[in-house]
Amino acid sequence: MVDQFINQWGKLDVFVWAVGQTSDTITRRITTEQWDNTIQTNLTGLFYCLQTLGPIFKTQQTGSVLIVSSLSSIQGTTGQTAYAASKGGVLSLTRQLALDYAKDKIRVVSVCPGAIDTPMLRIALGGTEQENEELVQDMGKSHPIGRIGLPEDLGNAVSFLCSDKASFITGEFLNVDGGFMALGAWAAGMESAGDE
């Protein structure tokens, strides 16, 4: 994949890792297969890609890597054992890669999206179109900004972090979550409960 890309375009300006798989199982019920598959997909695959890109970055001496993590990497989520562990590893790897690639002038950053209104989210909700719309609206009430995110909210943050305007930012992560983590999940739950 890397060889084909470099042959066609000559260099790699931005590499975005936007991979996420979850097992949706609590710790005592998760199988070894579910654990391994989630860790391999979300974390190990990233390591292999960036290890392969290392020589390209060394030659180029320019570029940026953006890794999509998750709020679950910062705060646990019920039923997300392997997912939270893999995305926590992604944040640790972000910091480590930023140090490893700094001498090659490569920046490495992460975003931690909150709830983003995508087809994947709506499918995960599992209801009818009307039921899912109501659930999305309810989710929005738990965010200080009053709604869940739109794909372009995340896209704009990614675009900024990959641009020259963020040339002095590396080894960091940005929550794109409508203030959800600033409020705190416990407080968000209490506030939404009090609004009913």
- What is the set of active-site residues? 83
CA atoms of 106 and 100, how far apart (whole Å): 9
